[in-house]
Amino acid sequence: MFNDSESASDSDIEKRRGLSVRGIAEVANVVNIKKTFNRHLHFTLVKDRNVATPRDYYLSLAHTVWDHLCSRWIRTHQFYYQQDPKRVYYLSLEFYMGRTLTNTMANLGLTQAVEEALYQLGLDLEDIEEIEDDAGLGNGGLGRLAACFLDSMATLGLAAYGYGIRYDYGIFQQKIADGWQVEEPDDWLRFGNPWEKARPEYLLPISFYGRVDVGPDGSKRWVDAQTVLAMPYDTPVPGFGNNNCNTLRLWTAKAPQSFNLHSFNSGEYISAVCDRNQAENISRVLYPNDNFFEGKELRLKQEYFLVAATLQDIIRRFRNSKSYNHCFDNFADKVAIQLNDTHPSLAIPELMRIFIDQEKLAWDAAWSICVATFAYTNHTILPEALERWPVQTLAKCLPRHLEIIYDINQRFLAYVSERYPGDMDRIRRMSLVEEDGCKRINMAYLCVVGSHAVNGVARIHSDLIKKHVFKDFYELWPERFQNKTNGITPRRWLLLCNPGLSDLLSDKIGPAWITDLDQLRQLTDFQDNEHVLRELVKVKSQAKRKFADFVMREFKVKIDPSSMFDIQDRIIRTTQSANSPERLAALPTWPLRNIKAIIKLINSVAKVINNDPIVGNRLRVLFLENYRVSLAEKIFPAADLSEQISTAGTEASGTGNMKFMLNGALTIGTMDGANVEMCEEMGRENMFVFGMSVEEVEALSRSGYRPADHYASSPELRRCLDMIRDGVFSPPDNAGLFRDVFDSLVYHDRFMLLADYKDYIRAQDLAAETYLDQAKWSRMCLLNIAAAGKFSSDRTISEYAKDIWNVDPHGIKLPAPTSRL
Ligand SMILES: *Cc1c(COP(=O)(O)O)cnc(C)c1O
């Protein structure tokens, strides 16, 4: 794995990774890195080259790169203190960061020097990079968006902080056994995490349970609560090509010394110590629910834990800042808090509780500060995803917050009835408290009422929330509603995952695209340049060959790199295990069973096709297990066709679609989410568009959708579905395994898939035909890349800065450091 060659000439290095923008391998830097690397191997890892493992090399390198971060990190926060700009706080239950080493080196401009230093030491950077475990503290799109936003906020130079939870276990590792999904715990901290600094000196107390005490003056106090401590771990977030280094602060739960004092006092020392785990379970594990609300007490405690620790920290920082004048009048001028979905929505009643119960502000004053401080991002309109906490659970865990929510609701409804006198139906519809069945709080409504800005994540999605979920609220406060179309960071999703394409682009249009993605428009100049188009094809072929090698190594499956790589990157995950038909049948709800069965079905179809002597040579189906950020980075550069096939109106935005586009894959897609804007940017002739529009979906829904009609009228569709029903893909001893999948499609088909089927096949045929015309295909690829500028998260963040946070989108430029380290 690690070769032993001496040293390389400069031209060798340039060949290996291109000179472009990966930083210049200055001799002084290379010497320095080698020295630091060896020093860490010796003093930090306490190993020599004879016994060092690949992981020791990874850790030595991580510590070496970390050393380059420290001064920038300290100086950034000194500078923020001196300048005292408005701070932006991004609150999210998920930060799906993936790997850190490559990104840090790229953003610091160290890649080239490190590569050369390692080469001189007989080590290979790419092999070392593969050792790092992903930080998988997210389910998918929502958590990855938060990670892309951190990169953009640091690169733009915003004084911004990410706040989240440091789960001991991130998203589970997905294994496929006999075609069934099996979940394994993601013990990502097992070998230590070199990218964080624990701050045990800054513990903060967090309360749960207890009751509300009313003082003689009518003031309220939360008393008799249990305390858990929140301990911060800081991760540096360096900007690209600047000297800024922001912070992602993640909280972990610690039991206080006094936890379970009762048992201590009664002499049950051992069990009292063991019980401390209970308190610390709050930050144990990420809930693997993507777009699905489960309503578990532990999840509520996680949400409050994040919010309570973060607000204490924000207020402490505000109090220590230069602009603090012993009151909270200017709080919202100095603090912007963005709520990533409703998961951190308890921040609204928590800030009210601090202002009213602790700081003794009057309700109206406190409320206007809150509304001016908070902004809320909605991520979905699917009803099963909306958080609606039972009043019972809130009353038990957070009694004072429930009271405050009731107070907010009472004042809000009074305002609504003033605006719409006598419109009782509207008042009932807009109540934060749902009375039908089990009493619940609608957290999305709480967010809309408690924020000055509400945004969707793609234009079509922002329009839909105004028409449906928040219709009444939009009528009341149209000025609150905005759109912020999602984006992705071009650093991770092009510069570092696709060096071949990066170098080609920099060669043709210069490297400015890395921080100004609109520069890609210049590529349109080359749309008829055969030479450039051939180079583009070559880069794609190389990436496909590399991916085919990887698939052979990792999955022992042979794929032909000259065939079309047609990829769907949807993640399918569920909480409960079903690794056999019996377990499948035992799952409580149909959607869960369906997902598990579909994973099994895909793998079964793959088995049949890949083993077919005729079809198997021309078509291969592959289910890549354990999809995650580091695997995604390998997939996008190799993709030819991107499947973005959600029924119109169901996908809020998508960001996978943007990653494919940026890496020169063509899209087959519906007019849904950000596909709509992608199509607009590239021109409809450069996308394989199919399926119903949102309007057509709505009309079909109103007129009564009958999937069985489509089944009956299309022989081809019927043949496919019958194969699923009749056991062509089923194991011999269980022919009826996929009967439920068939039934759900033919008799329910919630997402109207059968209605779109025919047009989908038409678009697939068109894509296949176009692929045979390499000249045309490569020209479309080029025009896709050229149109991807809008989908940089730098653009998204600039819009948040201007339209929601009221901070300068150009950020703060830190002066260059005086010394190298
Ligand atoms: C980008 C990304 C997602 C989101 O992809 P969508 O196709 O938009 O759902 C999910 N998981 C990973 C690992 C990603 O990189």
The answer to whether 724 and 746 have CB atoms below 8 angstroms apart is no
The three-state (H, E, C) secondary structure of 622-664, written as one string: CCCCCCCHHHHHHHHHHCCEEEECCCCCCCCCCCHHHHHHHCC
Q: Which residues line ligand 1 (CB under 6 A)?
A: 140-141, 144, 569, 571, 628-629, 632, 654-656, 659
Q: Above 90 in pLDDT, residue 54? A: yes
Which mutation among 646, 655, 662 tests ligand 1's pocket best, with the greatest number of atoms within 8 A of CB?
A: 655
Ligand 1 centroid – CA 692 distance (Å): 24
User: Span 33-44, mean pLDDT?
Assistant: 98
Q: Name the more confident of 617 and 147.
A: 147
> What confidence tens digit (pLDDT) does each residue in 213-265 have?
999 999 999 999 999 999 999 999 999 999 999 999 999 999 998 877 777 67
Cα distances (Å, whole numbers) of residue 575 to 53, 92, 167, 299, 626: 35, 20, 16, 14, 14
Closest protein CA for atom 1 of ligand 1 = 656
**Mean pLDDT, residues 286-297 taken together:** 94
Q: What residues are paired with 441 via a beta bridge?
A: 389, 433
Q: What local confidence, expressed as pLDDT, does residue 592 receive?
A: 63
Question: Once rounded to an integer, what is the mean pLDDT over residues 301-307?
Answer: 98
CATH superfamily ID and name for 490-580+618-705+749-791: Glycogen Phosphorylase B; (3.40.50.2000)
With the most atoms of ligand 1 within 8 angstroms of its CB, the residue from 103, 144, 651 to mutate is: 144
Long-range Cβ contacts of 309-314 (<8 Å, 24+ apart):
309/163, 309/204, 309/206, 309/230, 309/232, 309/251, 310/89, 310/91, 310/163, 310/249, 310/251, 310/344, 310/347, 311/347, 311/350, 311/351, 311/354, 312/204, 313/163, 313/204, 313/232, 313/249, 314/87, 314/89
pLDDT tens per residue across span 670-688: 999 999 999 999 999 999 9
The β-bridge partners of 376 are 339, 454
Q: How far is ligand 1, taken at its centre, from the CA of residue 636, in Å?
A: 11
pLDDT beyond 70 at 416: yes
- Nearest-atom number in ligand 1 for the CA of 653 is 8
**Cβ–Cβ under 8 Å, residues 480 and 453:** yes
The length of the chain is 821
Measure the CA–CA gap between 731 and 604, rounded to whole angstroms: 8
Give the distance (Å) from ligand 1 centre to CA of residue 639. 14
| Alpha-carbon gap, residue 812 to 572, rounded angstroms | 41
Please check whether residue 222 is in contact with residue 400, taking contact to mean a CB–CB distance below 8 angstroms.
yes
Give how far Cα 552 sits from Cα of 2, 126, 537, 566, 635, Å: 21, 18, 22, 17, 14
- Are 293 and 386 spatial neighbours (Cβ–Cβ below 8 Å)? yes
Only one residue has tokens 């395994």, namely 737
Q: Pick 352 or 12 by higher pLDDT.
A: 352
Direct distance between the N- and C-terminal alpha carbons of the chain, in angstroms, rounded to an integer: 30
- Helix (H) / strand (E) element for 406: namely helix 399-419
Q: Is 90 exceeded by the pLDDT of residue 24? A: no
**How many angstroms does the Cα of residue 493 sit away from the middle of ligand 1?**
11
The mean pLDDT value for 703-709 works out to: 97
Predicted local distance difference test score (pLDDT) of residue 281: 98
**Ligand 1 atom showing the smallest separation from residue 658 Cα:** 8
pLDDT score, position 14: 45
Task: Cite the residue boundaries of each domain of the chain with CATH code 3.40.50.2000.
Answer: 84-98+134-486, 490-580+618-705+749-791
Cα 576 to ligand 1 centroid, rounded to whole Å:
21
In the structure, what pLDDT confidence band is assigned to residue 616 with cuts at 50, 70 and 90?
Answer: confident
Tokens 């800065």 locate to: 801
Look over the chain and give the mean of its residue pLDDT values, rounded to a whole number: 94
User: What is the spatial distance between Cα 195 and Cα 192, in angstroms, rounded to a whole number?
Assistant: 9
Which numbered atom of ligand 1 lies nearest the CA of 98?
13
The H or E element containing residue 68 is helix 54-83
Over range 92-100, report the average pLDDT: 98
pLDDT at 269 (0 to 100): 87
d(CA 601, CA 621): 12
814 or 379, greater pLDDT = 379
The CATH homologous superfamily to which domain 84-98+134-486 belongs is: Glycogen Phosphorylase B; (3.40.50.2000)
Pairing of strands 95-98, 173-177: unpaired
Lowest mean pLDDT among 124-128, 287-291, 357-361, 590-594: 590-594
pLDDT for 134 equals 98
pLDDT category at 759 given cuts 50, 70, 90 is very high
Closest residue by Cα to atom 8, ligand 1, is: 654
Distance 530 CA to ligand 1 centre (A): 33
Nearest to 339 by CA among 142, 570, 550, 549: 142
- Cross-strand pairs, 348: none
Nearest-CA residue for ligand 1 atom 6 is 656
**Average pLDDT of 633-660?**
98
Q: Which one of 95, 569, 653, 678 would you pick to mutate in the ligand 1 pocket, going by the greatest count of ligand atoms within 8 A of its CB?
A: 569
Tell me the mean pLDDT in the region 335-342: 98
**pLDDT bucket at 20, cuts 50 / 70 / 90:** very low
